[in-house]
A and B are shown apart, each in its own frame.
Chain A
Amino acid sequence: MASVYTPAVQALIDELGRLPGVGPKSAQRIAFHLVKLPEVDALRLADAISDAKAKVRFCEVCFNVSDEVRCEICSDDRRETNVICVVEEPRDIVAVERTREYRGRYHVLQGAINPIEGIGPDQLRVKELLDRLRDHSVTEVILCTNPNIEGEATAMYLARLLEPAGITVTRIASGLPVGGDLEYADEVTLGRALEGRRSVDVS
């Protein structure tokens, strides 16, 4: 179907439509909103994006967002190095940190297995996780993916991958709001879920 918009507007709609949670209708609405904005406001948004892109990067170890090559948690010597908590997104680290129950390190997958969105293990930071486990200094991996279908599938995939390597793999306990996101769990509930973590059944 030929585009009914000018190429510039269509390109903007296409780019916005690629953002998570933005459907074609919203992309259209946002695009026309942006086009109508005074130039200073529109450019401020563009600057914020390029600024963030230039200054924020991902920690080379755990893939948390970071200003430096290594994030604050990975550079903190007081944190235990024998436990890794695997989460889907950097915002999940914030949720776990709020509980003050956890003193180990993290690994951010940058997503969950989701075939509908074309995300398989290859699109996630799985190989990098395996690399971190190679020197056997890590004895436990806690799977802290979201308690929804995609998070559970990702946890099961990782458990099956890691258990043969002789690492203790645990999953946060149930009791979290089912189907929701980790970031919406309050710190007391999430703290209990961490404390009550159990070995994963990989059968």
Chain B
Amino acid sequence: MAVLRRLSLRDFRNYIELDISLEPGRIVISGNNGQGKSNMLEAVAYLGSLGSFRGAPPEALIRAGQPSAVIRADVVSGDRELLIEAELVRGRPNRIQINKQKLGRARDLLGIMPVTVFGPDDLELIKGGPGVRRRYLDDLLVQLHPRNDKVRTDVDKILKQRNALLRSAGGRATPDVDATLNVWNAKLAEAGEALGRARQALVTALQPRVNAAYAALAGEGHPVSLVYEPDWLGLGLFSELERVRSDELRRGTTLVGPHRDELEVGLAQMPARTHASQGEQRTLSLALRIAGHHEVGDVVGTSPVLLLDDVFSELDQGRATSLLSLLEADQTMVTTAAGSPPVDGPIQHLVVEAGSVASRNTR
């Protein structure tokens, strides 16, 4: 299981100091907009992914005018009890400690406490550009196997170096440029194909899960299709890079590879991005998140902590209820605007006001 027992924050977003005990089960966090509900989930999610689920840069997570922020959590993960501490310092790499032992590399934290986040912008998973869906897959890959984080960052670094070389060549392939480019091609082919194959295996595993989740949420049986079949992965990235070499030299950038892939989501044999209704798109985006949550839970053996940020305002009562019934977790944190919580019988109710939190147990 994965459960937070206690959460402390210092100078994180609008929280000056927070120290709160948390219960397993369902936690409803309510309050007016701008009081800090989502910030609390953002802090928890940071311990799972080492980043902001809202895509904010690390500096934005530190309270204005402060040099650093601290997130501290007592966590039960599997059969271990852990004190996880993250310190974010302006202009420096973050510092992570587990049970007071400093981690040599921050990314060793990944996979310790898996989290699944449902955010208010998840509709973008269907409506947004290909980059949103690539990130969805890659984030899941890291949760599934932390070593994928290295594959992903290696691809990014190689692409940056390779693009710099292509730009600086100014369109001319001297023998020197050619020889160096051959090396970067081999490196990109190796790392890129590892990432492509991992994405492909993940999509295959997600397909039946997405279908089942969509059918359960929508109450009808339109088939959902996930297609991830980049041409280069079949043909071999190295030979594809050779083929486009002169084009790349002319344009000064990498034209084939995992950074340009698309995960096509179809509903009833039509592209969901252009042909599904807004309601269908919303349900599809939820189905993608549910599928990821179940996949991580099954593979890792620990159901991720569930964080639902302002998801219910867009859903009717029926769908909200069926969403929660589909999502098994040892701990679920739900934010909702002021008013009655949409969840039945929450075990713990937190009210957030201007960065301070009052807790009420309704067991």
Contact code string B173-213 (vs A, CB < 8 Å = 1, else 0): 00011011011101100000000000000000000000000
16 new A-B contacts, CB < 8 A, other than A120-B165, A149-B187, A153-B183, are A113-B180, A113-B183, A115-B161, A115-B180, A116-B161, A121-B180, A149-B157, A149-B161, A152-B187, A153-B180, A153-B184, A153-B187, A156-B187, A160-B183, A161-B179, A177-B104
With A115-B165, A115-B168 as known contacts, state yes or no: A156 contacts B150, CB within 8 Å: no
- Across the interface, do B157 and A160 meet the contact criterion of CB distance under 8 Å? no
Q: If A149-B154, A156-B186, A178-B150 touch, does A114 touch B180 (CB 8 Å cutoff)?
A: no
Complex: A149 Cα to B187 Cα, angstroms:
8
Separation of A179 and B179 alpha carbons in the complex (Å): 24
State how many residues of chain A have any CB contact under 8 Å with chain B: 20
Q: Is the interface of B mostly helix, strand, loop or mixed?
A: helix
- A164 contacts chain B at the CB level, 8 A cutoff: no
- Which residues of chain A come closer than 8 Å to B164, judged between CB atoms? 115-116
Residue of B nearest to A118 (CB): B168
Q: Report the interface size for chain B: residues with CB under 8 A from the other chain.
A: 22
Contacts of A120 in B (CB 8 A): 165, 176-177, 180
CA distance A113 to B179 in the complex (A): 12
Cα(A122)–Cα(B176), bound, Å: 8
Report the bound CA distance from A163 to B331 in whole Å: 58
A32 at interface by CB-CB < 8 Å? no
User: Is the CB–CB distance between B150 and A179 below 8 Å?
Assistant: yes
Which are the 6 A-B pairs with shortest beta-carbon distances?
A: A115-B165, A115-B164, A116-B164, A149-B157, A157-B183, A156-B183
* CB-CB nearest in chain A for B166: A115
The verdict on B158 contacting chain A, using a C-beta distance below 8 Å, is yes
A129 CA to B160 CA, complexed, in Å = 28
Residue of A nearest to B167 (CB): A115
Which residue among A25, A114, A149, A161 has the maximum number of chain B CB atoms within 10 Å of its CB?
A149
B161 & A114 in contact (Cβ 8 Å cutoff): yes
CB pairs A–B below 8 angstroms (6 shown) = A116-B164, A120-B165, A121-B179, A149-B161, A150-B161, A156-B186
B-chain residues with CB within 8 Å of residue A116 when the two chains form the complex: 160-161, 164
Residue B294 lies at the interface, judged by CB distance under 8 Å to chain A: no
Instruction: Enumerate chain B interface residues (CB-CB to A < 8 A).
Output: 91, 104-105, 150, 154, 157-158, 160-162, 164-165, 168, 176-177, 179-180, 182-184, 186-187
Q: Which residues of B contact A179 (CB under 8 A)?
A: 105, 150
A-chain residues with CB within 8 Å of residue B177 when the two chains form the complex:
120
Residue on A nearest B162 in the bound complex, by CB? A115
* CB closest chain-A residue, reference B153: A179
- Across the interface, do B158 and A149 meet the contact criterion of CB distance under 8 Å? yes
In the complex, which residue of chain B has the Cβ closest to the Cβ of A149? Answer: B157
With a CB–CB cut-off of 8 A, which chain B residues contact A150?
161
How far, in angstroms, from A161 to B165 measured CA to CA in the complex?
Answer: 19
State whether A157 and B179 are in contact (beta carbons under 8 Å apart), knowing that A115-B162, A115-B164, A115-B165 are contacts in the complex.
yes
Q: Which B residues touch A113, using CB under 8 A? A: 180, 183
Closest to B155 in A: A149
How many angstroms between the C-alpha atoms of A83 and B271 in the bound complex?
Answer: 61
Question: Bound state CA distance, A177 and B108, in angstroms?
Answer: 13
Q: How far is the CA of A120 from the CA of B158 in the complex (A)?
A: 15
Q: Which residues of A contact B154 (CB under 8 A)?
A: 149
CA distance A111 to B176 in the complex (A): 17
Known: A114-B161, A115-B162. Contact between A160 and B179, CB under 8 A? yes
